[in-house]
Structure 1
Amino acid sequence: MGGWAGAVTVLLTAAAVGLLPPLLRALPEPVTSSGGTGPGYRSLADGRTVLTHTLAAAVAVLVVLLAVPGALRPLWWPLLACGVAAAVVDARSTWIPRQLCWAGWALGVPAAAAALLLGTGRPQLLAAATGAVAAAALFWLAWRISRGGIGFADVRIAPLVGLAAGSLGPLGWWWSLLLGTALGAVVALLRRTLGRPGPTPYAPALVAGPFLAALLAPLAG
């Protein structure tokens, strides 16, 4: 019965790649706290975004199919469909559309139901849900303490990361956040070394964390 989960995982990820450009063209342009305009979402709906999203999504879905048990794959749907898309937009603009995060939150409900249908135990599902809440709480606290050191958009995307990371168990959750945070720090250091001004997009590193943890899990025993 679990064979359909892999097919849905691939189709959902492919649909997200196809839907991102029209979504970017339809989104209202955000206004900054200083009254300035946002990144120009419409201008991001181009071939470069499609190519980047296609490559990132292909790698992400391949990791899930190879490293995540079939019954747990639905818990990765919000991250695959919305988290990867948000990371691509953030990488190009340092902005994350809140609508993508909201869609990921909403997708979490049918994803959990599908995981139960596939045989995921209630303890595993509870661990994933706890991971989502804990990640959101942790990044909210970091946002409050840092006073703008991280953007609130990273707080919005944290539940998608935490849900997938939590499906790997407590140790996998910690490794996911640790790897994502470390990767973000390396990117920030490289940007500073290369003299690149402006804020560092953090979502790509944060989203990459669970995928790296899933790949490294067999090495951890």
Structure 2
Amino acid sequence: MIADGLVLAAVGVWAAMGVWVSVTDLRDAIIPRRVCWVGGGAVAALLAAAAGVAGDPLRLGWAAAAAASVGLVLEVVYRRWPGKIGFGDVRLIIVNSLLAGWWGLPWAWWALCAGALAEWPVAIAAIIRHGRTAQVRWAPGLVIGTAAIVTWQLWTQGPT
């Protein structure tokens, strides 16, 4: 029961961070570094505590591996095509992957796919309006996609 509460607290911290970065991205076209790292650190600490209480440290290892694998791929994408994705997006996706990865490595990738899918209508509209120079604010879609995956996992498998 305590471990469940810690996981739900991690989800709450992530949700608050997600709303903050989404609003900031829409308003100022930036995802604040400090908010992502502080929120991500809090999520990591809460998940670590949940893994310790539940006696399942491997679960935290899978969450960290999920965040690292997604982060590594996006780091390559960012370095290869710096104008296509911002590093704020990469930071946000790493935190999203850490949370979704709590339920297993594939869920981090599903969260990324769901986030991209959630943002496609906005991206397509921006490209139609502005052409190849369109700037898309990805944070809201990334947060919505991850929220959908996390909600699904909480409903079907529970917090721990």
TM-score, shorter chain, exceeding 0.5: yes
* Matched residue, 2:48: 113
Determine which structure has more spread, i.e. the larger CA radius of gyration: 1
Structure with more of its chain in helix, by fraction: 2
Letter in 2 for 1:177: L
- Mapped pair 1:207 → 2:133: no
In 2, are the aligned partners of 1:77 and 1:107 still within 8 Å (CA)? no
Alignment of 1:120-159 (within 5 A): 121-159=56-94
Q: Identify the residue that residue 73 of structure 1 maps to in structure 2.
A: 8
Task: Report % sequence identity.
Answer: 29
**Pairwise CA RMSD:** 2.6
Which of 14, 35, 50 is the aligned partner of 1:100?
35
| Structure-2 residue corresponding to 1:89 | 24
Q: Which runs of 5+ in 1 are unaligned?
A: 6-68
Uncovered stretches (5+) of structure 2, i.e. residues with no partner? none
Partner of 1:37: none
- Per-residue CA deviation, residues 19-61 of structure 1 (Å, 9 max, x unaligned), is xxxxxxxxxxxxxxxxxxxxxxxxxxxxxxxxxxxxxxxxxxx
SS at match of 2:54: coil
Question: For the residues of structure 1 that align with 2:12 and 2:69, how far apart are their CA atoms?
Answer: 19
Q: CA deviation at 1:96?
A: 1.3
* 1:167 counterpart SS class: helix
Distance 1:78 1:130 in 2: 21
**C-alpha separation in 1, matches of 2:55 and 2:89:** 28
> Which residue of structure 2 aligns with residue 176 of structure 1?
111
The one-character-per-residue Cα deviations of 1:185-204 (angstroms, maximum 9, x if unpaired) are 332002334x2685110111
Opposite residue 54 of structure 2, the aligned amino acid is G
